[in-house]
Amino acid sequence: MATLVTGGTGYIGSHTVVELLGAGKDVVILDNFYNSSPKVLPRIAELAGRAPAFEECDIRDRAGLDRIFETYKIDSVIHFAGLKAVGESCEKPLLYYENNIGGTVTLCEAMAAHGCKNIVFSSSATVYGSGNVSPLREDMPVGGTTNPYGTTKYYIEHILEDTAAADKDWHVCLLRYFNPIGAHKSGRIGEMPNGIPNNLLPYITQVAAGKLDHLNIYGNDYNTPDGTGVRDYIHVVDLALGHLKAMDYTADHAGVSIFNLGTGKGYSVLEIVAAFEKASGVKIPYEFAPRRPGDLDSVYSDPSKAERVLGWKAERGIDEMCADSYRWQHQNPNGYED
Ligand code: NAD
Ligand code: UD1
């Protein structure tokens, strides 16, 4: 039996596939390469020692999905495929609703039609909105999202909950990621942002590489120890390993399970800059700039449920996250085009 990994050539998906293959699982990747490169596939095979099956397909393509379910024996799905740029989602909300929500509905319809009702979904800490105080727990209220991207995650959580409520055969796991950074230790796979990065770490690595002039730090008057925003950064390999634990747990548990995947520790932007400079030996020039709309002071997880229930805990610290981000950028200045 194989696991279908939608979005498996993307940043988190590719790291998860390497770990799945390493654990002896059979994997079928589905991706439309909207935000990824076919060149990641040989690198996944190189790291895992064997290649996953790959199907170029769109999650909105019902006939393509049916063909995949007919070709392979698939008993579980890890669903990463989706668009994730917050700014773009404000400019093109319908694209985000159609791709993320429409695509998930089509995927679930195809799954049900082929008797596969076991799904692990990539949700986000963004579903906690602005109304909760960190550390964020899974039983806190969700909603109040501030951009269409975040709203797609909130709606998809609802859609999967309603689906599981209506049909007791569904096994659903909602994983709420905090801030994934870092890369595989080998430097062979990592994050490949298109254009100027929105997120902090990809921006810093491009400043380190001399592609960008300096970092703009959005706000130094937040209610945090040094005034800059605090987030819960998690190494992408720890995140990937969380999916393996979640997958095994979900196979045995019908209904909906929800887990935060974070470290529980918050770092400020200035602490990240200092950790990155230490790990890379490269100075990161920065300037303070106005706050970015929608940003919050401090967002970090209570990860204790995942430890208690799944037996999963993030192991990699901030120095390793920064060193691995830098190695990936340094070895692949042009991403997978190198
Ligand atoms: P990514 O863009 O690197 O990977 C997503 C993959 O999905 C890409 O390879 C893209 O080509 C593919 N895809 C998009 N739409 C598709 C479609 N209609 N059909 C088939 N493939 C499609 O992003 P990532 O950082 O690896 O994120 C993976 C998932 O985790 C996303 O759902 C994202 O929203 C979620 N998430 C990411 C973060 C983060 O900070 N990276 C945080 C929280 C949640
Ligand atoms: C952002 C998104 C969130 C999404 C997550 C992962 C917003 C408001 N939130 O979260 O929905 O799930 O990315 O894709 O966009 N920072 C700078 N300079 C920069 C970039 C960031 O100072 O050039 C600061 C931010 O103000 C923040 C911290 O660094 O305090 C982390 O930012 P980022 O990496 O974008 O993550 P989030 O804002 O947590």
pLDDT, tens digit (0-9, with 9 covering 90-100), for 259-312: 999 999 999 999 999 999 999 999 999 999 999 988 999 999 999 999 999 999
CA 193 to CA 85: how far, in whole Å? 10
Atom of ligand 1 nearest to the CA of 99: 18
Rounded distance between C-alpha atoms, residue 157 and residue 160, angstroms: 5
* Prediction pTM value: 0.98
Over residues 181-191, the mean pLDDT reads 98
For residue 194, the model assigns a pLDDT of 79
Ligand 1 atom closest to the Cα of residue 199 is 40
Q: Whose CA is nearest to atom 36 of ligand 2?
A: 199
Q: Is 149 a catalytic residue?
A: yes
Question: Which has the closest alpha carbon to 317: 182, 218, 184?
Answer: 182
Would you place residue 218 in the very low, low, confident or very high pLDDT band (cuts 50, 70, 90)? very high
How many Å apart are CA 48 and CA 18, to the nearest integer? 5
Mean pLDDT, rounded, of the chain: 97
| Helix/strand/coil (H/E/C) assignment for every residue in 63-103 | HHHHHHHHHCCEEEEEECCCCCCHHHHHHCHHHHHHHHHHH
Q: How far is the CA of 3 from the centre of ligand 2 (A)?
A: 31
Give which of 216, 173, 190 is closest to 47, Cα–Cα.
190
Choice among 11, 128, 149, 300 that is catalytic: 149
Distance 272 CA to ligand 1 centre (A): 24
Q: Tell me how far apart the alpha carbons of residues 203 and 337 are, in angstroms, rounded to a whole number.
A: 19
226 — pLDDT class (breaks 50, 70, 90): very high
Q: How far is the CA of 82 from the centre of ligand 1 (A)?
A: 4
- The pLDDT score that the predictor gives to residue 294 is 87
Measured from the alpha carbon of residue 90, the closest ligand is 2
